[in-house]
Amino acid sequence: MIISYQWLRDYVDFDLTPAELCEKLTNLGLEAYVASQYEPFLNEIVIGEVIECVPHPNSDHLSICQVKVNADSIQQIVCGAPNVAQGQRVPVALQGTTLPGGLEIKPVKLRGEKSNGMICSERELGLSESHDGILILNDTAPVGGSFVDYLTGGDTAIEIDLTPNRPDAMSHIGVARDLAALIKQTLAKPKPEFRESAESTDSSARITLEDTHGCPRYATRVIRGVTIGPSPKWLQERLQAVGLRSINNVVDAANFVLMETGHPLHTFDYDQLAGHEIIVRRAYKNEKMTTLDSKERQLNEEILLICDGEKPVAIAGIMGGENSEVMEQTTNILIESAYFDPVTIRRGAKFLGLSSEASKRFERGADPSGVIYALERLTGLIQELAGGQVSKGVVDAYPKPISPAEVRLRYKRCSDLLGVDIPAETQRQILTDLGMETLESSDQETAFRIPTFRPDITREADLFEEILRVYGQHNVPVNTHFRVTSQALGKSSNKFRNALREIMVGMGYHEIMSVSLVMENQHPRLFGDEKPVELLNPSSREMTTVRSSLLPGMETALAYNRRHRQNNIHLFEVGQVSTVDKNSDTSARESTHIAFLQQGLVQEKTWLTPEIESTFYHLKGDLSKLWRSLTGDDPKFVTVDHAILKHCYGILLDGEIVGYLGELPENRLENLDISGNVFYAEITTAALEKAYWNREKSFILFSPYPVVERDLSLVIDETISHAEIQKVIEEKGGNFLQESYLYDLYQGNTIATGQKSLTFRLVFQTLDRTLTEREVDQAFDRIVWSLKTDFNANLR
């Protein structure tokens, strides 16, 4: 909403620059800033006087003008406009100015004559489409002065960003009221003045409220014999200052009162109202009407209409009808000043997709008690501007007056809540300055009657807010002396997730964060038959469901990076996924997943080290490291035939599969337009988190005696798995075998077809002494014997 700095002065006396005013208003909760209504280039346009204008010797349509652009500078400007003449005051663009459309003003020669600027038309200044000739200013425009100042009359437009709870501040008087309370000035509301004729309003118009819920109050007067014409300059300037277009004196007067009081009004051409009556009712099914903007509107049965004896003449509180508009030939008018139900107007405006100055105010809540003042103010203004006979008295249909709220304020409670001791007297003064009346009062508390222009104040907390607004939030001392009730932070999932992230980052993975809304076909159902949570009103085709797996996001990130020539990729994500769950009160179950993937090299080649290509075993190794770090145990795997992942392992925890690792299949890679192998793991973390928190860390004694290492190299049938061999080694190794691991695997020329060669390193040790060779030999021989008998293995 725009407020005029000068106009505001009509209601409150203040000595503040526009910037200072904005700061004060902002501190009051009316966020304000100086609006730059005009394009910046306009600030460079100056007012010039054409002191000489002669025809161009080499052209039949150009003139050579000498233009005075300040007290001591006269510039020669060649001008092509037919209406240029000596003595005019005109807007001039001088060297260095760039007009809209990119025309930069610089000294030029036009048909041999120097030209040092440009005299501008309205179109060139971006003010209108008019290009009939140059814009001619008033004779009083100061030569050398700023054209913007000329346009604004030295006024400043203040843009106010109002919060939805403050309909009372949607006007100059409303803003002035707040300001007056802050700077301790009185609010000066103009007194309506007009002469009534003998004819009573009663006999001129009849009001019927068929819907008193939608329209609790409707007041009117009739003015006969008005002369429609242009508005005087002061009124045009006022409206221009707040961004409204001047139409005619009657319509302008109504807009003026709207901007002054915040109360929307409407004027009808009285002679167009059939039966000279007003009926307020809801629209019929499939009813239509044409509004002021010449658009035919399809209505619904919730919409409130203003009708005459035959037909709708306005959509209540939203927009007038074309059929009863005040036009040039109008002589008799009926003024509407009404109060409409906010919800009715909001729904109507929403249904029609139509928002007007009136509807914006009614839907936030106009003042039912302000109806008469606004009516009288407009009546006086119309008579002043357009003449006419004002009917005697007001017809005021107000069957059930709306009673103002009463709210009790406990002074101590206010000070306690704000954390600053505000004296009772100060609190009371603030509220009365804002228009509240004191009812019964004591030292501790006072009951206030809340004016009806403040529908937002219904409770004590609302009064605290008012007091704080005017007292100033910035005046409340900052308190950093906290009384903290400490709570044990406990086993927060956030800590677990950070532990998990730390390990992944340590292993060289980059954390990603994906959009968790995906397409309905982007649900890999890794864990079975997850049913995705679908959106009723998706905003785009790409985001119609909530993700049930991290895979789509990981794939998108992978494909994105590959497209951008990143080849060696380690990514992980920790995040929520959702699936349908009928037993939940939100019909959805959410869990945290972690996913990670590898593609390309796990180690890039350097001058010292070779490159290493990512494999399933690298992913498995990282997963195992993650598992050991979090739980203290090795993960347990089970081979699964997975619907999506190939070469897939399920990860077991407490007998349940909690995740999978494997390789993305070719068809998915094709869809992503990616080559190479991609290794992927995704785990649901609930059980893992439990294992993490349950992990018992305790010291295990290690031996001070030396270890004995033996290497076991064997050639064995290639179908025998590593796990089977490892199992035999561990079982037969006895108590002294501390550790055993594969450290070489070979298949090739020197080994028979169908065979493979493996080398294990076995580490023996015991707690209380150095092992003898004999003891180690015995264990080693047991292992070899078993491998020979079970698998027909041969030692190398």
Partner 1 sequence: MSLLKKADEVRAGFFNTLQEDPARVDLEALRIEYLGRKGKVATLFKQMGQVAPEERAAFGQTLNQLKQELTEALDERESAAAAEKHSTEEAKIDLTLPGIASPAGTYHIITQSLNDMIDIFGRLGFSVAEGPEVESEWRNFDALNILPDHPARDMQDTFFTKSGHVLRTHTSPVQVRLMQSQPPPIRSIMPGKVYRNEAVSARSHAMFHQVEGLYVDKRVTFGELKGTLELFCREYFDEDVKLRFRPSFFPFTEPSSEVDISCFLCHGKGCRICKQTGWLEILGCGMVDPAVFEAVGYDPDKVTGYAFGIGIERPALLRYGIPDIRMFYENDLRFLRQF
Residue 291 corresponds to which tokens in the numbers above? Answer: 């509004």
Residue 641 corresponds to which tokens in the numbers above? Answer: 């035939």
Residues paired with 571 in a beta bridge: 510, 597
In 186-339, alpha helices (H):
201-204, 233-241, 249-261
Provide, rounded to whole angstroms, the least separation between the CB of residue 130 and partner 1. Answer: 33
Residue closer to partner 1 (CB basis): 460 or 530? 460
| Dist. CA 507–CA 502, nearest whole Å | 9
Q: For tokens 């059980």, what's the residue?
A: 687
Q: Which residues of 759-796 are buried (b: 16+ CB within 10 A; e: fewer)?
A: ebebebbeeeeebeeebbeebbebbbebbeeebebeee
Helix or strand (DSSP H, E) at 742: strand 737-746
Provide, rounded to whole angstroms, the least separation between the CB of residue 330 and partner 1. Answer: 37
Provide, rounded to whole angstroms, the least separation between the CB of residue 596 and partner 1. Answer: 10
Provide, rounded to whole angstroms, the least separation between the CB of residue 620 and partner 1. Answer: 17
Contacts of residue 698, Cβ cutoff 8 Å, sequence gap at least 6: none
Provide, rounded to whole angstroms, the least separation between the CB of residue 661 and partner 1. Answer: 18
| Dist. CA 389–CA 392, nearest whole Å | 9
- The burial of 737, by beta-carbon neighbours within 10 Å (0-12 exposed, 13-18 middle, 19 or more buried), is given as buried
Residue 763 corresponds to which tokens in the numbers above? Answer: 């580490």
Residue closer to partner 1 (CB basis): 419 or 704? 419
Residue 78 corresponds to which tokens in the numbers above? Answer: 């060649």
| Dist. CA 183–CA 165, nearest whole Å | 23
**For residue 741, how many other CB atoms are within 10 A of its CB?**
11
| Dist. CA 5–CA 17, nearest whole Å | 9
Angle between helices 686-694 and 616-631 in degrees, nearest 10: 50
Provide, rounded to whole angstroms, the least separation between the CB of residue 112 and partner 1. Answer: 45
Ranges assigned E (strand) in 654-727:
656-663, 678-684, 708-717
Contacts of residue 442, Cβ cutoff 8 Å, sequence gap at least 6: none
Residue closer to partner 1 (CB basis): 36 or 208? 36
Angle between helices 493-506 and 686-694 in degrees, nearest 10: 90
| Dist. CA 450–CA 406, nearest whole Å | 6
Provide, rounded to whole angstroms, the least separation between the CB of residue 442 and partner 1. Answer: 18
Task: State which amino acid sits at residue 604.
Answer: E
Provide, rounded to whole angstroms, the least separation between the CB of residue 439 and partner 1. Answer: 21
Give the C-alpha distances (Å, rounded to integers) separating 124 from 107, 121, 130, 144.
Answer: 18, 5, 9, 19
Q: For tokens 């306690």, what's the residue?
A: 416
Residue closer to partner 1 (CB basis): 164 or 754? 164
Residue closer to partner 1 (CB basis): 89 or 166? 166
**For residue 311, how many other CB atoms are within 10 A of its CB?**
15
Residue closer to partner 1 (CB basis): 54 or 461? 461
Provide, rounded to whole angstroms, the least separation between the CB of residue 292 and partner 1. Answer: 25
Provide, rounded to whole angstroms, the least separation between the CB of residue 105 and partner 1. Answer: 26
Q: For tokens 């290794």, what's the residue?
A: 679
Q: For tokens 């008033």, what's the residue?
A: 138
Residue closer to partner 1 (CB basis): 613 or 718? 613
Residue closer to partner 1 (CB basis): 392 or 620? 620
Residue closer to partner 1 (CB basis): 111 or 563? 563
Provide, rounded to whole angstroms, the least separation between the CB of residue 583 and partner 1. Answer: 12
Residue closer to partner 1 (CB basis): 46 or 468? 468
CB < 8 Å & 24+ apart, contacts of 691-696? 691/630, 691/631, 691/633, 691/653, 692/496, 692/499, 692/630, 692/631, 693/491, 693/496, 695/630, 695/631, 695/632, 696/632
Provide, rounded to whole angstroms, the least separation between the CB of residue 564 and partner 1. Answer: 6
Residue 723 corresponds to which tokens in the numbers above? Answer: 């796990």
Residue closer to partner 1 (CB basis): 346 or 796? 346
158, HSE (Cβ side, Cα atoms, 13 Å) = 28
Residue closer to partner 1 (CB basis): 561 or 757? 561
Residue closer to partner 1 (CB basis): 539 or 721? 539
**For residue 193, how many other CB atoms are within 10 A of its CB?**
12
Provide, rounded to whole angstroms, the least separation between the CB of residue 453 and partner 1. Answer: 17
Provide, rounded to whole angstroms, the least separation between the CB of residue 181 and partner 1. Answer: 13
Residue closer to partner 1 (CB basis): 109 or 565? 565
276 DSSP 8-state letter: G
| Contact predicate 452/368, CB 8 Å | yes
| Contact predicate 780/710, CB 8 Å | yes
| Dist. CA 333–CA 270, nearest whole Å | 4
Residue closer to partner 1 (CB basis): 166 or 172? 166
| Contact predicate 77/45, CB 8 Å | no
Residue closer to partner 1 (CB basis): 484 or 700? 484
Contacts of residue 696, Cβ cutoff 8 Å, sequence gap at least 6: 632
| Contact predicate 397/202, CB 8 Å | no
Provide, rounded to whole angstroms, the least separation between the CB of residue 209 and partner 1. Answer: 23
Provide, rounded to whole angstroms, the least separation between the CB of residue 269 and partner 1. Answer: 35
Residue closer to partner 1 (CB basis): 406 or 462? 462
Provide, rounded to whole angstroms, the least separation between the CB of residue 605 and partner 1. Answer: 11
Residue closer to partner 1 (CB basis): 38 or 746? 38
Provide, rounded to whole angstroms, the least separation between the CB of residue 675 and partner 1. Answer: 18
